[in-house]
Structure 1
Amino acid sequence: MRNLLEKLIDQCRSKYHLQLLFPSDPFILQFDCEDQHYTISLSDKECLIMEDDNTFEPGFVIEGNEEMITCVLKGQELLSRMIEHNQLSVRGGYRPLLFVESVLWLTRPVLKETVEV
């Protein structure tokens, strides 16, 4: 799970167009995966995995098992669809949901497919 979050953070840092979406104050996103908690901070200044997650109150929380959270982090499924099918649960408002969904979708690994002409 940590490896996937590191890839997400790398994508957040490397894609210029994402920097325009990030708020100036850190947005705290927490993943509750069974008995593990992972927290990331997203802002236009810095994106990072937080080691001490008790410092800030999360703006949005995604809860579920590792398989379902991994599915969202890999871009195999939309967060809203997973919520709709009761595969994941979330805490937070609608606007944070839209923000998190956008970030997760725009940072997903994209496989380049060859096109035959």
Structure 2
Amino acid sequence: MEIVVIEHALERMAERGATFKEIQQVIEAGQAVNAKIGRKAKEMVFDYDDTWLGKRYAQKKVKVVFVEESDRIVATDVYAFMVPGGRTCEYFMIRPMMSCILSLRILLKK
């Protein structure tokens, strides 16, 4: 099935460091998570081991919000959560705002 990424999601991909290949993998094999009524969402954790905005990260969790149509899947939003080395994604919540707060608390405890 064709995967279409709307402009808003393309902008979020660029801002948050997600790739189209990751979006495809998440939609095809990711774990289903809660989404707003009328939408679906899946997420997947990737080994990252790279630098993003000057900091090194071990993993990246990518979440895709999408709508299934009869002949295609339309990605409407994309989230990416970078996970520092020595941590795992189980420490990070899915909601972006809460993820930032929880991430900060974990990093401050180091």
Question: By the TM > 0.5 criterion, same fold?
Answer: no
Which structure carries more strand by proportion?
2
